[in-house]
Each structure stands twice: as structure tokens, then as C-alpha cells.
Amino acid sequence: MVFGKYIHEVVEAIMTSKLYGIYVHQPTPDEPTSGIITRNPKLQPYFGHCIGALDGTHVPWKARAGDDRRFRNRKGYLSQNVFAVCSFDLLFLHLHAGSEGSAHEQKVLAWAIEKGFQIPGPVKYYLGDAGYTMSENIMVPYRGVRYHLREWIAGARSSSRETLPSTKQELFNLRHAQLRNVVERIFGVVQRKFPILTGSAPEYNYKMQAMIPLLCAFLHNYVHINDPFNRSTGKARAARMTMEAKRARLEIIYKRTEEALRNPAVAVDEEVDDPPEDQPEGLSMEATRNEISDRMWIDYLKYKDGPRRRQQVPDHLDELLLAFDHEGLLL
């Protein structure tokens, strides 16, 4: 087949061209805070310096003989653990692919840092789940406290008193989960667009298999920025991305063109080396999290007990779901 004959050349040409670095790039120190945060009074006072979320996802992997154990993940199938960082405007900012499926998220993060992932500025940070260690630029939720959104919905099914947070740690975790959920959404979007990310492992070499998620992320960003109208559904593709955000993003893209020409577009390992040690606990970020949760809880109690409270504690699941606005955030 002609497609099979040239697929390697086409993919590698895209991944090593200036285009990849233009459309998938880490934010600059002066990049403005996303409107998803600035427009929401329940987020802006607390997460004003947050620039996105990060997580890993597993993509099917065809391993060489003898490599099965390294690439077999905890669910029992062979995969590569793809580390991804995204903005709140549903754009990929950085990816690191090709890591063995058996690797823990913290180890994959360490590999990504070793290969060039960095966070701009001392005050900027990303949100990560409990699979990551708190560090200077990664804020994780409180451990041992209800966190995932499905836990809150499960609480609504069982008891009305479990539908809303009862401590500052629970409130912080709920807001953190609602905001960090953007990375779960972007994984779902690209997996629906590109079935190769969830189907049978492709019959390619390691380098090509690692490039596939990166190419899918590039195509997602390219379409998301340049063609916000989804012709297949007749609906706006990126309702959350305002025209101001689009103009700002395009301006950054134009400025990055020359930089992308000077720097490697992407680093992909054919082999996976031993990871560096986990990053130490971020004491200053822990203090920041505690300060945020304190302020958030004080403001929440004022609202909860004040005359302007808009509704009573929801008693059932339907009422809990109605308590979420169009951004997925608790009203």
C-alpha cells in the first residue's frame, strides 16, 4: 500500500518540522492566565498562577520479544505510558511518549523533565493528581481525602450530607479535581478522534509507536486553533476558547516560529533508560496549598451561611449535577 510505504516518512517529517514546535509548545513566563480561571470567581482568587494540568494515559504498545514485562501495565495489557500537559483551553502544551507501561507516573514525569519538560517562572504551576509528588511547580490534592468527581457523585447517591464538602481539605480537593479534569477531557477528545490510540497496538517500530500520540496531539491542536467549527456536528468545536484566547494563542504561535526553527521539535527515545529519583516533596507548594485552602474555606462558609446563597444542599444526584455550571464547576 502507498500509505504504508510512506507513513513513516510523512509522520517523521511533521514531527521534526517547525510546525510541531509552533503548535505544541510550553507556555512562556508572560503567557496570560486562562479565561477559564479569570472568569470564574470560585477559581481566580485561588488558582490565578495555575497554567494547566498534567497526567499520563496508556496507549497500546507492540513490544519486542523479551520486553513484555516492561511494557505490561497494572491492568495487564502492553502499553506505553504517555505523559501529557494541557492548558485549560483544551490544548496540548507538552508530551513525552514511549515510556514503558509498567512505569509509575512520577517516574515518567522524571523522564519528561530529563528530556526538556519545564515550567516557566517560579510562581507558575500545574495541577496533578495524587499519583504525583508535590513539588515546587506541581500542586497535588490532599491525600486520604475525597477527591475524584465520581466520589462526589457517589456520595450524592448515598447521602445528602456527602454531596458538599465538610472540611477545607474536601473543598480544596473538589475545586482541584474540577479544574484538573481538563486533562481527562482532552484525553477523551483525542481518543475519540484517533482510534489508533485505543485499538490494537500498531505494527510499527518503537520510535514510530512513540510518535503516534505526539502526532495526534499536534493534529488536535492544529484543528482546535485553526478550525473551531466542527463540520461533522455543525457545532462550535471550542466553545471554551474565546476569541481573545484564540488571538493570544495565535500571537504566541507567530512569535514561536523562529524559536521552533532553532530548537528540536520533539525528543523521542527508542529505548527507555532507568529513571532519575523522584522529586523531593515541595514544602513551599504545600504551604501555598494550605494558604489557598484556608482562604477558600473562609469564603465558602461566608457564602454557604450568607443570605445570598442560591440553593439548599442538594438531596439527590440530579440536584448535585444541576449544581455544576457549564464549565463543570460547582456553583
- The residue extents of the domains of the chain are 2-149+176-262
pLDDT of residue 77: 96
Beta bridge partners of 58: 81
* Residues in the chain, total: 331
Contact 182, 331 (CB under 8 A): no
Cell matching residue 106: 512520577
Residues 2-19 pLDDT 10s: 456 678 888 888 888 888
Q: What is the mean pLDDT of the chain?
A: 79
Q: Chain-centre distance of CA 320, in angstroms?
A: 25
What one-character-per-residue DSSP string does 291-328 give?
HHHHHHHHHHHHHHHSTT--SPPP-SHHHHHHTB-TTS
pLDDT of residue 159: 53
Which of 82-91, 96-105, 175-184, 318-327 is predicted least confidently?
Answer: 318-327
What value, to the nearest 5°, has the Cα angle with vertex 20 and ends 18 and 25? Answer: 105
User: If you average pLDDT over residues 50-73, what whole number do you get?
Assistant: 96
What band does 152 get if pLDDT is binned at 50, 70 and 90?
Answer: low
pLDDT of residue 260: 45
Which of 187-191, 198-202, 230-234, 272-276 is predicted least confidently?
Answer: 272-276
User: If you average pLDDT over residues 139-166, what whole number do you get?
Assistant: 73
pLDDT of residue 272: 38
State the burial class of residue 287 (Cβ atoms within 10 Å of its Cβ: 0-12, 13-18, 19+): exposed
| Residue matched to cell numbers 532519575 | 276
Cell matching residue 267: 525528543
What band does 326 get if pLDDT is binned at 50, 70 and 90?
Answer: very low
Q: What does the alpha-carbon distance between residue 156 and residue 140 come to, in Å, rounded to a whole number? A: 24
The sign of the torsion formed by the CA atoms of 201, 207, 212, 214 equals: positive
Neighbours of 286 (CB within 10 A): 15
Residues 155-177 pLDDT 10s: 555 555 556 788 999 999 999 99
User: If you average pLDDT over residues 182-211, what whole number do you get?
Assistant: 94
pLDDT of residue 1: 47
Residues 262-300 pLDDT 10s: 554 433 333 334 433 434 556 799 999 999 999 999 999
Q: For residue 32, which amino acid is it?
A: P
Please state whether 221 falls in left (phi above 0), alpha (psi between -120 and 50) or beta: alpha
Contact 15, 266 (CB under 8 A): yes
